[in-house]
């Protein structure tokens, strides 16, 4: 059983790791000159993870106002990274989906992050024990994220046709 002091130490260590992961993502986006902010990139990742979504649902997932999401998606649409559409059975809701270019951008950034994380793990001489891997898997699951293999499966189909219409 973890003591309160150990719990606090783990939370602080994870907070530091979280900052470093955000820094890795920001560096990768900047190096690619993708002209995408971290919040915009997070929206793209969520669309890659869950597929097409109602704009209201994506705003809730990102914890932003619908008007903020609208402006964000205006920018992403101008960059040809997302597209808006209406489903035949739901004309009132606006849906968002990745375009192939949006999916490819997410994939390239994720692969670059993987490369950089591999170098960090090598430099830190981290022991990839089963206990360490299990801990990380439990943290990923508790945070609501998908295991890596499942995430890549979802990414692979994230820009497939919607309602039989190929995305631009």
Q: What is the pLDDT of residues 3-57, one digit of tens each?
A: 989 999 999 999 999 999 999 988 888 888 778 999 999 999 999 999 999 999 9
In the chain, the domains with their CATH numbers are 21-125 (1.10.10.10)
pLDDT in the model for residue 159: 81
Number of CB atoms found within 10 A of residue 115's CB: 11
Name, in order, each residue with C-beta under 8 angstroms of 155's C-beta and a sequence gap of 6 or more: 48, 49, 103, 106, 107, 110
Q: What is the pLDDT of residues 37-48, one digit of tens each?
A: 999 999 999 999
- Between the two ends of the chain, the Cα-to-Cα distance in Å is 53
* Angstrom distance (rounded) from CA 139 to CA 116: 21
Mean pLDDT across the chain, nearest whole number? 89
């Amino acid at each position: 059983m973890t003591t309160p002091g150990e719990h606090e130490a783990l939370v602080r260590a994870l907070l530091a790791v979280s900052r470093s992961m955000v820094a890795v993502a920001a560096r990768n986006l900047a190096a690619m000159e993708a002209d995408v902010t971290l919040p915009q990139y997070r929206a793209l990742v969520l669309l890659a993870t869950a597929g097409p979504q109602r704009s209201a649902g994506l705003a809730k997932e990102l914890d932003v106002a619908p008007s903020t999401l609208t402006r964000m998606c205006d920018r992403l649409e101008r960059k040809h990274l997302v597209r808006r559409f209406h489903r035949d059975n739901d004309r009132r809701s606006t849906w968002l989906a990745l375009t192939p270019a949006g999916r490819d951008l997410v994939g390239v950034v994720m692969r670059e992050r993987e490369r950089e994380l591999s170098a960090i793990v090598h430099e830190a001489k981290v022991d990839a024990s089963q206990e360490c891997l299990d801990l990380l898997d439990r943290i990923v699951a508790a945070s609501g994220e998908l295991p890596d293999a499942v995430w890549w499966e979802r990414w692979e189909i994230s820009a497939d046709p919607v309602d039989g219409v190929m995305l631009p």
